[in-house]
Amino acid sequence: MTDDNSMDEKKKLKNKLEVARRDRAEALERAKIADEKALSTIAKLKATRDILQATERNAAQFEAEAVELERKLNVIMRSQATIPGSSDESQNKKLEQILSLEDPPEVQEIIKAYHNSMDKKSYDHVWRERRDLIMSYLERGEDRLSRALARIRRAEERNRAMGLDLRRWIVDDEALDLPWRPAAAAYRSAVVEAVMDAVTPQTSKIIETGSGWGEHLCNIYLEGGPAGATYYALELEKEGRICSLLLASLDPLFNLRAGFFDYRQPDYSMVEKDDGHTILLTAHSIEQVKDIHQDCLRVALTLSSRVTGVHFEPVGWQTHDRNDWRPWTQQHYERCQEKSYNTNLVSLLRAMEAEELIRIRIMKPNFIGLDYNPATLIVWEKVVSAPSG
């Protein structure tokens, strides 16, 4: 090969190399543009997906809100309730109906025999006076549940001369001097909060046995308790049940049912069973009965797939060995003996736990209350066996 030929070949190769380099650079540029386009398409797709997901979530939320609104509308239609402040003919009819509530003769007999056998005063007269107090406010036009409840409580506190003066309280098994009325409010709030801690989206029923005038159930509802749940005020005394129904009648969406209940021969037949979650509350009512029937707790387990018990009962001395009692526990024990207060709540719960029917989650002896009768907080849950297979 001549030198000239070899120069030509070199030139050609150089040109080819340059063309190849240019093609490569152009290809890289095109790839880069394609990459950027792909990335921007992915980003757009992701944004579209996010919008779609959010829309789906909103649709589900709207759907749930629509169902809830429909439920409320149905309740209002069914109850033919009046809007607070408007014409109150049907409300008056409802109040008359509630006030004329009568127990069947056999229940009247049980209550009469109970009163006669008691070595202490029954709550019959307390709740009758409370009923008259409630009616006095309703007759004066108080038609909001929250205001009615607050005014009745204030009147009651005035009657008992409850002031801001210091009283000896027991809080978490320690003695403290606290202003009376605010501390009493803290006790009521503790009851509501303990129940609210137990609420789940499945909570379908909140039952209070020994519910008195229904104050706790009203507080729970007003403080955001589940709107769609049924609230059961189960109480021995008719006058107490009437109080609960009168108060609940002020809010047509507050689904409260009241029924006779006796801790000595419990009967939950008026309570509808379901697959949801039931909360069973008791507050200073088991205290009234020396030995409650074990079915007060055992039969409650059959009311829903899941059941939670919340007790505010003065049973601190039942929870631990006498050698570990604080001075107020000893005094409290003596008072419980004098008053024939409850002796078997904790042993019944422990027996159920030993049988793996329940699990006790919280046991706070002498959690909150005036020193002569502090409430112990107990929270338990029904043991749910894992589905087989």
Ligand X SMILES: C[S@@+](CC[C@H](N)C(=O)[O-])C[C@H]1O[C@@H](n2cnc3c(N)ncnc32)[C@H](O)[C@@H]1O
Residues that bind ligand X (CB under 6 A): 123, 210-212, 215-216, 235-237, 240, 261-264, 283-285, 288-289
- With beta carbons less than 8 A apart as the criterion, state whether 247 and 276 touch: no
Q: Are strands 375-382 and 277-283 parallel, antiparallel or unpaired?
A: unpaired
Shortest distance, position 288 Cβ to ligand X, whole Å: 4
User: Of 119 and 321, which has the nearer Cβ to ligand X?
Assistant: 119
Residues 6+ positions from 149 with CB-CB distance below 8 Å: 215, 218, 219, 222, 247
382: which strand partners? 358
Nearer to ligand X, 306 or 311 (CB): 311
Q: Shortest gap between Cβ of 329 and ligand X (angstroms)?
A: 20
For residue 321, the minimal CB distance to ligand X (Å) is 28
CB-nearest residue to ligand X = 212
Contact call for residues 205 and 229 (beta carbons, < 8 A)? yes
| Closest of 150, 187, 152 to residue 167, by C-alpha | 187
Residue 344 tokens, joined: 């078997």
Residue 212 vs 259, nearer CB to ligand X = 212
Rounded CA-CA distance 328/368 in Å is 13
CB of 191 to ligand X, least distance (A): 7
Q: Environment class of residue 112 by beta-carbon count within 10 Å: exposed (0-12), middle (13-18) or buried (19+)? A: exposed
Q: How far is the CB of 388 from ligand X (least distance, A)?
A: 38
Instruction: Could you list the beta-strand ranges (E) of 148-189.
Output: 166-171, 174-179
Q: Which is nearer to ligand X, 261 or 380 (CB)?
A: 261
Question: Nearest approach, Cβ of 212 to ligand X (angstroms)?
Answer: 3
Q: How far is the CB of 214 from ligand X (least distance, A)?
A: 8
Give the whole-angstrom CA distance, residue 336 versus residue 287: 9
Terminal-residue alpha carbon distance, the chain: 88
Nearer to ligand X, 98 or 375 (CB): 375
- Adjacent-strand bridge partners of 312: 283, 377
Closest by CA to 303, choosing from 333, 273, 329, 323, is 273
Using the minimum distance from each CB to ligand X, give the nearer residue, 235 or 251: 235
Instruction: For ligand X, give the closer residue by CB, 12 or 264.
Output: 264
Of the pair 123, 325, the CB lying nearest ligand X is at: 123
CB of 336 to ligand X, least distance (A): 14
Among 353, 354, 362, residue whose Cα is nearest residue 382 = 353
